Amino acid sequence: MKKLFFTLEGDSNKPTIVLGHPLGMNSRVWDGVVPELLKQFRVIRWDLPGHGLSPALDSNSSPLTANALVDPLIEKCDELGIKQFHYVGTSIGGMIGQQLVTQYPERLLSATLTNTGAKIGSKDAWLTRQQDVMALGLKSMAATLVLRWFSEHSMQNKPALASYWQEQLANVDDFSYGALCAWLGNMDLTDTLGPSSLPIQLICGEKDVATTPELMGTLASLLQVDKLEVINQIGHVPSVESPDQLTSLLKNFISQ
């Protein structure tokens, strides 16, 4: 895989917080929370393959391995000399966070997983999505897909939300998006998750249709996390739908 695009902001003397974005989006999803986080942390965010400013996957490349998304993050932290960090990930970013919890717990100061699950959707559904994207292209599918991301409340209160993210999704590389769909179809962390000594925070959106509060309740049971934070009236992406509330939950959790 080609080198992914990483952004590093803030004071190197502060603890590091790493932010992982959802499928079809990019590191700009964190724009609403980063200014506040920079008061307390050095912030790293990155774009998944073919998303944002990261190069697309080679269309002749093999299917992504299970660790294909978490390894570049660890390698980047090694390169920067960052031994430990706080991690926040949404959706596929949350699955990467679960891999960190199980495979690299010594690297984590804490993990906040939002709008995710140990298994998201079915393998058949993800492979169908991959086939549709390769046949039709994300430009033609963007409007429909984006409607699943945000609650009606969010779209009414932020009229530009859907159009902005439709444009961002339309610019994602079709092959890379499809490869990530296949990765999600193959990922099932149910049997690898268990109680952890790490501080873990779980956050979901009340109106999320992709990773429902019920799905996140299952994740809470697997990790034996007592509290699931539910943000009312939002869908799948709290960092853009309710950035102030997400930031407040994050900072309160980490300060404890």
pLDDT for 74-113, tens place per residue? 999 999 999 999 999 999 999 999 999 999 999 999 999 9
* Residue among 17, 6, 199, 185 nearest 101 (CA): 199
> What would the mean pLDDT of 143-159 be, rounded to a whole number?
95
pLDDT for 25-59, tens place per residue? 999 999 999 999 999 999 999 999 999 999 999 98
Q: Compute the residue count for the chain.
A: 256
DSSP track, the chain: -PPPPEEEES-TTSPEEEEEPPTT--GGGGTTTHHHHTTT-EEEEEPPTTSTTSPPPPTTPPPPPTTTTHHHHHHHHHHHT---EEEEEETHHHHHHHHHHHH-GGGEEEEEEES--SS-S-HHHHHHHHHHHHHH-HHHHHHHHHHTTS-HHHHHH-TTHHHHHHHHHHTS-HHHHHHHHHHHHH---TTT----SS-EEEEEETT-SSS-HHHHHHHHHHHT-S-EEEETT--S-HHHHSHHHHHHHHHHHHH-
pLDDT, residue 243, reads 97
Query: Does pLDDT of 1 surpass 90?
Result: no
pLDDT for 178-191, tens place per residue? 999 999 999 999 99
pLDDT band at residue 21 using 50, 70 and 90 as cut-offs: very high
pLDDT, residue 186, reads 97
pLDDT, residue 19, reads 98
pLDDT, residue 15, reads 97
Average pLDDT over all residues of the chain: 97
Query: Does pLDDT of 60 surpass 90?
Result: no
DSSP track, 96-162: HHHHHHHH-GGGEEEEEEES--SS-S-HHHHHHHHHHHHHH-HHHHHHHHHHTTS-HHHHHH-TTHH
pLDDT for 190-231, tens place per residue? 999 999 999 999 999 999 999 999 999 999 999 999 999 999
pLDDT band at residue 2 using 50, 70 and 90 as cut-offs: confident
Query: Does pLDDT of 61 surpass 90?
Result: no
State pTM to two decimals.
Answer: 0.96
CA distance linking residue 237 with residue 235, whole number of Å = 6
Token pair recorded at residue 119 = 């298994």
